[in-house]
Structure 1
C-alpha cells in the first residue's frame, strides 16, 4: 500500500511537472509557508485547451446559399456524370444545413453542409462562412476544415479581433497563388522567427479529390514550433515570446473566423457549362481547438446563457478578466505574465480601500492614476486634500499641535486678504497669522501693548474696546457666511 501511494504521488508529480513545462497554468493560487505563517501565493493561470466548436454560432452570406430550397440535383465529385443525387431542405435525409459542419461524424453516409450549385455561372459562386464566439479565443491547435466536395480552388481564411467589425487575412489558399492573389506560393515551413507573422498563400490544399486530401489546414503548431522546437518540447521559450511580443499573442487570438469560399473545385482548367451541377461547396467537419482568453487571470471558462465567460480570479472581472473589480483599483490593471516560467506572475488587482495609514484616516477610498503611476486618495475629509490627504484645503492651515491623522489637523485660517484683515498696519503671513507692528499685539494686531501695562489713555482704551467689538462682529459674520 505504501509503495502504491509513493508511485501514485510520483506519477502525480510527473504529470504536474509536464503540465508546467508545457505552460499549462491550471491553478491561480496555492497555500505556502512564509515568515507570517500560511499565506496564499498567487500565480498566472489559464483554462485548458478544448474543442471550441460547440460554443460558436455560424452565419452564411448570402443567407440563401445552402442547397435544398428549392430542391436541386447535384453530381458526385468523383463521378461528374452521376448526377442522381438530390438536396432537399424539407426532407431530413436529403437536407444539408450548416450545423452538420460541426456534428459528430460516423453516420453513413457522412453528414455535411452543402451549398447551392454553380447554376448561375459565369457569375462567381462565392460564399462566406462566419464563425463567431462572442468571446476572445486563443487558438492552440491547427484549424482543420474537411470538405465533402473537392477542396476549393480559391479560398481565404480570415480573422477578426473586434467581433466582426474589421477583418484581416490569416491565410490564402489557391490552385495557382500568382493567378488568384498575385502572391508567390509559400509553405508555413518556409517561415522563420522574423517572418512568423507573415500572411502566406499556399497551393498545398487546393487540388485533388482523394479522401486523404479533403482537409484544409491552418498550421498553428508549425508556427509554435518556430519557438518551441519541432516537437513543441520547449514551450517555455514559446510562452516567453508570447509574454513579450503583443503582436505574436494577437496573431493567435480571435473573436471570429471567416471562411471565404471564392471558387469551387473544377477538376480541370475550364468549367463544364453543360454540367454545372458538378460545382458546389460541401463541408463535413470543422475542428478548432483553443481556450478562452482570460488574460492569465482564470483557470476555467463557463458557457451559460449561450455565452462564454472567464471565471475570473485575482480580483479581476469582465468577460475576459480585462479589468479590476470595484474597490480593487489600487493600481493599474495588467494581464498576468507567463514569466517567470513555470508558475507565471499573477499581477493581481490590489485593494483601493486604503489603510488608515495611507490616507491618514481622512478617506476610505483611493484610485490608481496611470499617468503618474500612483494611487491617490479620493474624497478627502476634515478639510484635507492631496495624494494622501496630507495637505490642508485653501482657507485652512495645519494645526501644529495635531498629528496628521487627527480630525482637527486642518483649522481655519486666522487671516486672509479677503475676509479678516490684520489691523493697525499688521501683515498677514501665509494666510495663517498676522505680523504686528511695534506697539500692537493680538491675533489681528487689534490690541495695543500698552493695555497689558495699563498705561494707555482712556480714549485709546475706548477705541480698543470698540475695535474689539467690531472684530468680534466680523468674525461671527464670516463664520456664519462660511456655513
Structure 2
C-alpha cells in the first residue's frame, strides 16, 4: 500500500495559519487487485483467436489460435494484469472466456475495485486488448455500505439496452445524473482501443466545483464497478462457427483510475491505518479534524460546524470554549444559530454548567477571580432558598442573618423554620445600643440602671431612658422614685450678636472688654501681653438652674488669628453654684482645632465618659449651672453661642 506525502502542499502557511491542503493526484488503481467474475483458463484451458483487420481474420502470434491456461503463467491472463505496470513491448492483459464458452449477452462480466477509503475520482481510463464492448457501464459506491450508483454507460444501443436516451443533456441543479453515450462503442479499433471517462466532463458547474456539494458527491467513490454487458461483433456469431465464436471475448490491458485520496481539504497525506484494519488507508488529518476522510471535528473542536476546506478558507475546526472546565463538547446547531458559537460543553468540572461551563450549578456560587464554583451552604432552616447570590449570601428568613443564614440577628431569638422572633428590645435601654438579646430566651441585655425583658424601664432611683441608659433622679436624697416631667417643650438660649455684644464680657486676671465686630456679627477679645488665658463670660440669661440642658448640646462658632494654636484641658468651662468647674478640651467630641476660618463647635452635656467632661460626676447631681465661659489661650477670638434648655 502506498503512502503519499506532499512537501509542496502544506496544510499551514509560513505563519502557521491553516490553509486548504489536498493529497497528491495518483493512479489509485495501480497494483490494486480487481475482483472479476470471469477469467479465462480457470476451469480448463480456453482456446481463443485474435481478430485482425487483414484478409485472414483469425491470426495469432503463432499463426494459429492461442490458449489461455490459468495454471501456466506464460499462458495466464489474471486480473492482476489489469493494473500492473504497462509496457507496450511486454504487454499483459486480463481476459474472459470466449463467446464459444457462453460469454455473451445477457451474460455479463463485473470488474470491481475496492479502494478501501473514499477518493475524489477525476477519470477512469480503460485500454482494451479486444475490441471495445458494444455496451458497458461504470458504477460507484460513495461509501462501502451504500448502494451502487450508475456513473456512466457507453453503448451503441442506449435506449434498447439501458432504457436511456443517448447523450441526454446535463442541466444545472441535476449535475450528478448518469449519462449514456454511444461514444467509444465502435468495433474498431480491434485492439488497443481506449475509453476515457472524465467525472466532471460536461457538468455545467465544474468550474465552481468547490462550492457545489452535488458535484463533490458525484466524484466521490470508495468502490468502482465496471460491468461489461455486450460484445462488439460483426454479426457472424449467429452461424455458430466455433472459430468465429472463439474470436469474441473481453480483454483489457490496463485500467487507470486517476484521483486523490479524499481528505476534504484537511490533509495532504494518506497513510495505512494504525488500528486493526492496518491495510486500510486513512487521511493524516490536520486542522483539528478526524476520521478516515477528515470528515468530522476532533471531540473538543465543535465550536462551528464541520466544513470541507477550500481555496478561500481552510475551515479548520475550532475548539469549544469551556472556560478551562471541560474537555468534552458537542456541536449544538441551535446554539450556533443564536450566538455564532456552537460548542456545547458537557461534563463541566468545578460544579459548573452551561454551554461554556460559564454558570454555577444550582445552589453554588463563584468567588471573584476563581474558576470553580463553591457550595452556597445555605442553612436549610434559616434560608428562604438554598441558592445564594453572586456574593455567596444566602436569602435569609425574617430575623435571620449570616452568609449562610445560620443565626438570629441582634435583637432576635428562637431560630426556627419561620426565622427568628423579634426580641423587641428598647435600643436606648440595650447594651451598646444594639437591641441584642439572649438567642434562646429572647431576654434583652440591658444597660446600667435599665431593667425589664425588653430593657424598656429605668431601675428605681433613675429616670429618662435614653441612648445612654437612665439618669439618676435629681431628688437630693429625699426620694428614690422619679419620672420624666410632662408638659415641657424645648427651646434654645441664643446669642447671635445681631446688634451688639448681648451683655457678653471677658475675664483674664481681671475684667476685660469684649469688642463687637459689626461686619462679622460676632464678639472678639485680645489676649494679654503676658500670655495669660482670656475667657468670654456668658450673660445672665445663660446662668441659673440649667438642669434642663443635661444631655443637650452647647453650640458656638469660633475662629482665631494665631497660627498653629495649642489646645488646653480647660478650653470650655462650666462653673457650678459651688464654683466647681466642669471642663473639656476644644477638640473633644470630634471637634476641630481652631483656625483663622470660622468653624462650628458642638459639645454634648452628659456625664458619660464618652463625652470627656471633667469631672464627669459633677453632671450626675443636677446642680444649677451658675455661669459658663470659654477659655482663649490664643491671640484673637470671636464667637457665637447657643445653649438648649
> Are 1:280 and 2:249 counterparts?
yes
Per-residue deviation, residues 423-473 of structure 1 (Å, max 9, x unmatched): xxxx66978433327984687523543478489999981899xxxxxxxxx
Whether the aligned pair in 1 keeps the contact of 2:131 and 2:232 (CA below 8 Å) is yes
Per-residue deviation, residues 223-242 of structure 1 (Å, max 9, x unmatched): 36x456xxxxxxxxx2xx22
Structure 2 equivalent of residue 478 of structure 1: none
Structure 2 equivalent of residue 203 of structure 1: 182
Structure 2 equivalent of residue 126 of structure 1: 108
Candidates 153, 156, 171, aligned match of 1:172: 153
Q: Distance in 2 between matches of 1:408 and 1:303?
A: 46
Q: Tell me, what secondary structure is at the counterpart of 1:278?
A: coil
> What CA RMSD, in Å, does the superposition of the two structures yield over aligned residues?
3.5
Per-residue deviation, residues 244-274 of structure 1 (Å, max 9, x unmatched): 2211101111111100111222222753422
Note closer, same or farther for the CA distance 1:428–1:113 as it changes in structure 2 (3 Å cut). Answer: closer
Structure 2 equivalent of residue 386 of structure 1: 354
Structure 2 equivalent of residue 45 of structure 1: 21
User: Which of 1 and 2 has greater Rg?
Assistant: 2
Quote the offset at 1:123 in angstroms: 7.0
Structure 2 equivalent of residue 30 of structure 1: 13
Q: Distance in 1 between matches of 2:303 and 2:298?
A: 11
Quote the offset at 1:108 in angstroms: 4.3
Range with bigger deviation, 43-52 or 402-411: 402-411
Whether the aligned pair in 2 keeps the contact of 1:174 and 1:202 (CA below 8 Å) is yes
Structure 2 equivalent of residue 258 of structure 1: 225
Q: Tell me, what secondary structure is at the counterpart of 1:271?
A: helix
Q: Distance in 1 between matches of 2:196 and 2:289?
A: 36
Q: Distance in 2 between matches of 1:322 and 1:95?
A: 42
Between structures 1 and 2, the one with greater helix share: 1
Candidates 213, 234, 251, aligned match of 1:267: 234
Per-residue deviation, residues 256-303 of structure 1 (Å, max 9, x unmatched): 110011122222275342222122111111121110000100122235
Structure 1 equivalent of residue 139 of structure 2: 158
Q: Distance in 2 between matches of 1:458 and 1:96?
A: 108
Candidates 397, 400, 403, aligned match of 1:435: 397
Whether the aligned pair in 2 keeps the contact of 1:135 and 1:309 (CA below 8 Å) is yes
Per-residue deviation, residues 55-79 of structure 1 (Å, max 9, x unmatched): 6331112xx5443431011121325
The TM-score, its normalising length taken from structure 2, stands at: 0.55
Structure 1 equivalent of residue 50 of structure 2: 76
Q: Distance in 2 between matches of 1:143 and 1:385?
A: 54
Q: Distance in 2 between matches of 1:303 and 1:449?
A: 82
Superposed, 1:347-386 pairs within 5 Å as: 347-352=315-320, 359=323, 363-371=325-333, 372-373=335-336, 374-386=342-354
* Higher relative contact order (Cα pairs below 8 Å, separated by 6+ residues): 1
Q: Tell me, what secondary structure is at the counterpart of 1:180?
A: helix
Q: Distance in 2 between matches of 1:319 and 1:212?
A: 40
Q: How many positions carry a matched residue from both structures? A: 395
Candidates 302, 307, 310, aligned match of 1:338: 310
Candidates 119, 123, 133, aligned match of 1:137: 119
Q: Distance in 2 between matches of 1:215 and 1:68?
A: 27
Structure 2 equivalent of residue 461 of structure 1: 441
